[in-house]
Amino acid sequence: MDEVTTAVADRLREVFRRCDVPPRGLAGAGPDTDLWDLGMDSFATIKVMVAIEEEFAIEFPDTMLTRETFRTLGSITAALETLLGAGDRV
């Protein structure tokens, strides 16, 4: 994992902590752990999505508003890196 990815992933974990989701927590969750297996649902996803948009000063385009985008920490990090220009605003 490069420095940009690590910085984004660390901030992302902090967003999840502040939102108090998923219900089973992120302890031990890797970048490919399915967050829905940890108790995420559509309401928690919306809560996290809004918090991510505020934290990173971005807006997810409609094409990224899919369960697949928000399935894992890795998929969310990849989406963020795309939206942030891979480090321009980390």
Q: Is residue 89 part of a domain?
A: no
- The pLDDT of residue 87 is 46
Q: Is residue 25 part of a domain?
A: yes
Taking only the tens place, the pLDDT of each residue in 71-81 is 999 999 999 99
More confident: 87 or 83: 83
Cβ-in-10-Å burial (0-12, 13-18, 19+) of 44 comes to: buried
**DSSP state, 58?**
-
Letter string b/e over residues 69-87, b meaning 16 or more CB atoms within 10 A of that residue's CB: bbbbbbbbbebbbebbeee
Domain that holds residue 53: 3-84
Has residue 90 got a pLDDT over 60? no
| CA–CA gap between residue 41 and residue 46 (Å, rounded) | 9
Neighbours of 49 (CB within 10 A): 19
The number of distinct structural domains making up the chain is 1
Per-chain mean pLDDT for the chain: 91
Taking only the tens place, the pLDDT of each residue in 22-53 is 988 898 899 999 999 999 999 999 999 999 99
Q: Is residue 90 part of a domain?
A: no
Q: Is residue 42 part of a domain?
A: yes
Length of the chain: 90
- Give the CATH number of the domain where residue 35 resides: 1.10.1200.10
